[in-house]
Amino acid sequence: MSTRNPQSTAAPSPGPPASARRHFAGTGDQVAAARGFVVALLGSGSDFEETARLLVSEAATNAVLHSASGEDGGTFEVRCRLARERLRVEVHDGGAPQSPRRRVHHLDALTGRGLELVDLLAARWGWSGGTAGRVLWFELELV
């Protein structure tokens, strides 16, 4: 599936809220595109650019690896909103029988730390949904 351009954009704070959404193919190479999409809304040079980039990467990777989004023809959607010194990002996936959860991992494991990072770096985060679709969201306070 081809990606779509953001449905709406606006100037970052302190002006009116900026929001955008975009669909991505459920493949690993689209995780980088999702990061770039959110950082473009946030604005290059922000003190929070790298944190946003990391958390979007973790949430999008979770969608691709642990939901129906990663199956043939699957997609995920990223929605973001920048308002009043707060960035909210939602990653909507194709659903899965298990809920997102922290995993026990070995010290030398290459995966399994995504939600730990989200919990550590986000001001708030959560998830909802089930087998028909899930949303993993996080917020960053940009102050």
Cβ neighbours of residue 19 closer than 8 Å, sequence gap 6 or more: 8, 9, 10, 79, 80, 81, 82, 83
31-77 tens-digit pLDDT: 999 999 999 998 878 889 999 999 999 999 999 999 999 999 999 99
Residue 65 located in a structural domain: yes
Residue 106 located in a structural domain: no
Q: What pLDDT shows up at residue 4?
A: 37
Confidence grade of residue 7 (pLDDT, cut at 50, 70, 90): very low
**Residue 125: enclosing H or E segment and its boundaries?**
strand 124-130
SS3 label, residue 69: helix
8 Å CB contact between 136 and 119:
no
Residue 8 above 50 pLDDT?
Answer: no
8 Å CB contact between 26 and 10:
no
Domain that holds residue 85: 18-97+115-141
- The CATH number of the domain where 136 resides is what? 3.30.565.10
Total number of domains constituting the chain = 1
* Unique residue bearing structure tokens 């990002």: 89
Confidence grade of residue 84 (pLDDT, cut at 50, 70, 90): confident
Residue 64 located in a structural domain: yes
Tell me the pLDDT of the chain averaged across its residues: 84
Residue 4 located in a structural domain: no
